[in-house]
Amino acid sequence: MKRVPKIVLALLIQGLALLILAAVVKGASYWVTPPYPLWALAVAQGVLAAFLSCRLGLPCWWRLIQFGLPVGLYFGLHFQINPWWALLIFVVLWMIFFNAIKERVPLYLTNSTTRQALKKLIKRRQQVRFLDLGCGLGGNVVFMSQLVNVERADGVETAPIPYLVSKFFTLLRGGQVFAMDIWKTQLGYYDVVYAFLSPDPMPKLWQKVIAEMHPDAIFVSNSFAVPEVEPSEIWELDDRRKTKLYLYRMQDFQAKMG
Ligand SMILES: C[S@@+](CC[C@H](N)C(=O)[O-])C[C@H]1O[C@@H](n2cnc3c(N)ncnc32)[C@H](O)[C@@H]1O
């Protein structure tokens, strides 16, 4: 089941729930004379699909989506809500969470405790060139651009709405943001490369980091360690989520790089 894309699995589960519901309705018709209220059937479909989802391999939070889909469809049809609204909401969400589908990296933001830790990390360095891989709304880029020992703070972002927001934000407050895929960046130019992504891209990203970053540079990953690579240091921060910063000082990997 793991190889089936989640969206396909979700639809298959809705189909299975519909079959079960049809069988139950058929059986129930011997005792309770149909028709049954449509809203009750939509809710039953949602409950069944939500119940099956977690058990059949979807992440448990998908239960909300699985419940909301038939119930939302029912309400949309019942109240004759213009379907363009659904399309509009879908397009806006897609433009924000673009990379959740493509790269399995959603949008969530670095907090101020983590930014202070980044400041501390570079405090003994001069003329730092900083890059945020997938810079979201641009907060880190702006923050770093305002530090006196930072020569350049850049970010790259491909999700359209975060890109536009970060572009605007950096134009006003400092730093630069590019509409560029993280895989097309030149990491060799930077002293500190920061990533807050997800477990998914980390192995491939590490290959890029090792191939491109210079020996004096640091790669920092917020929350997601590179699998099977011992970091140079791990900083556990004193925030609510106990953020872990995995620090990879390139000099520690030079010998292994050969
Ligand atoms: C978890 S958010 C982190 C945002 C920001 N770096 C921060 O720490 O506040 C990850 C961001 O990376 C972006 N992203 C994911 N894959 C990307 C890619 N291949 N190229 C550019 N941006 C990407 C996502 O759109 C998202 O905005």
Phi, psi values for residue 224, rounded to 5°: -120, 110
In terms of C-beta density within 10 A (0-12 exposed, 13-18 middle, 19 or more buried), how is residue 235 classed?
middle
β-pairing, 244-249 vs 233-236, is antiparallel
Q: Kindly state if the Cβ of 145 falls inside 6 Å of ligand 1.
A: no
| Average pLDDT of the residues in 26-49 | 93
The per-residue pLDDT for 7 is 87
Angle at 38 between CA 33 and CA 44, to 5 degrees: 90
Q: Kindly state if the Cβ of 136 falls inside 6 Å of ligand 1.
A: yes
Q: Which of 140, 132, 139, 175 is nearest to 157 (CA)?
A: 132
Alpha carbon of 95 to ligand 1 centroid (Å): 13
Q: What is the reported pTM?
A: 0.81
Q: Domains in the chain, please, with CATH?
A: 6-81 (no CATH), 112-257 (3.40.50.150)
Mean pLDDT of the chain: 93
Separation of alpha carbons 76 and 92, rounded Å: 19
Q: Determine the residue of 103, 164, 204 to mutate for testing ligand 1's pocket, defined as the one with the most ligand atoms within 8 A of the Cβ atom.
A: 103
Q: Kindly state if the Cβ of 90 falls inside 6 Å of ligand 1.
A: no
Q: Kindly state if the Cβ of 181 falls inside 6 Å of ligand 1.
A: yes
pLDDT digit string, tens, across residues 51-97: 999 999 988 888 999 999 999 999 999 999 998 998 998 899 889 88
Q: Kindly state if the Cβ of 138 falls inside 6 Å of ligand 1.
A: no
Q: Kindly state if the Cβ of 140 falls inside 6 Å of ligand 1.
A: yes
Residue closest via CA to ligand 1's atom 4 equals 136
pLDDT digit string, tens, across residues 144-200: 999 999 999 999 999 999 999 999 999 999 999 999 999 999 999 999 999 999 999
* Reported confidence tier of residue 5, pLDDT bands at 50, 70, 90: confident
DSSP letters along 38-62, please?
Answer: HHHHHHHHHHHHHHHHHHTTS-TTH
Alpha carbon of 63 to ligand 1 centroid (Å): 25
Q: Which of 147, 157, 149 is nearest to 177 (CA)?
A: 157
The per-residue pLDDT for 94 is 87
pLDDT digit string, tens, across residues 112-152: 999 999 999 999 999 999 999 999 999 999 999 999 999 99
